[in-house]
Amino acid sequence: AEPARAYLEARGACVRTGRPARISAGDGGFTVRAGDERWRVPAVIAAVPWHQLAAVFEDAVPPALASIAANAARMTPVPIVTVNLWYDRPVLDTAFAGLIGRTAQWVFDRRAIAGGASTHVSVITSAAAGLSERTDAAIIEIIAADLRETLPLAREALVTRATVIREKQATFSVRPGSPERPEARTPLRGFFLAGDWLRTGLPGTIEGAVRSGNRAAYEILCDPSSFITTR
């Protein structure tokens, strides 16, 4: 996050963290409040998850966004479970590996990306509704067993520490009949959205989030006259 912050501030951006932002719409623009600070702006990009869209407004959701907010409220959350395992020796000889037909889907060794050996791996399981309801101990055993059975270096390795992270609303279901996903430009003049839950042509992924952010920026930069009134 810090490189992104440095990039933005070097180009005149004002970055505020550690405080919730709230938006009020009216008089042809928006008031954004974060803590004791307020800004009056002609346009806003709300890069929030679908389940926080309504909460970002100071008051009620503006009528122009009612249908988008209603569809967002109907989206079905899908959990992701991350298990961090520390071993007594390295168990992965590559930066990451995908496991087929296992509860453990992706195994990442962050230090290996930089060329070093690590005894710490992160294991990701998406669409983990059933798994997320298990106890930590049960989840750790399931994932550790998957690694023992698929990674040769893990067969004799001992787990020395483990943690489980459950993200209950990590992503969303895209099954048939799911609510319509919105575009970056909304019916509310000057209000734009960004996030992996938009209509990006991709499921809920970081690539989709990046694509949506690019689209929101494009909409603002290429057509500012659509929301800025010249007096």
> Are 184 and 202 members of one domain?
yes
> Are 162 and 192 members of one domain?
no
**Residue range of the domain that includes 125:** 77-172
Supply the CATH number for residue 147's domain.
3.90.660.20
Mean pLDDT of all residues in 40-58: 95
Last residue of a domain, one of 172, 189, 218: 172
> Are 44 and 64 members of one domain?
yes
Residues 6+ apart with CB under 8 A from 119: 86, 87, 88, 89, 90, 91, 160
Q: What confidence score (pLDDT) does residue 111 get?
A: 78
> Are 165 and 194 members of one domain?
no
**In a domain? residue 231:** no
Q: Which helix (H) or strand (E) holds 68?
A: helix 66-74
> Is the pLDDT reported for residue 221 higher than 80?
yes
Confidence grade of residue 224 (pLDDT, cut at 50, 70, 90): confident
Last residue of a domain, one of 129, 147, 172: 172
Number of separate domains in the chain? 2
Cα–Cα distance measured from residue 40 to residue 192, given in angstroms and rounded to the nearest whole number: 16
Task: Encode pLDDT of 65-118 as tens digits.
Answer: 999 999 999 999 999 999 999 999 999 988 899 999 999 999 999 777 666 668
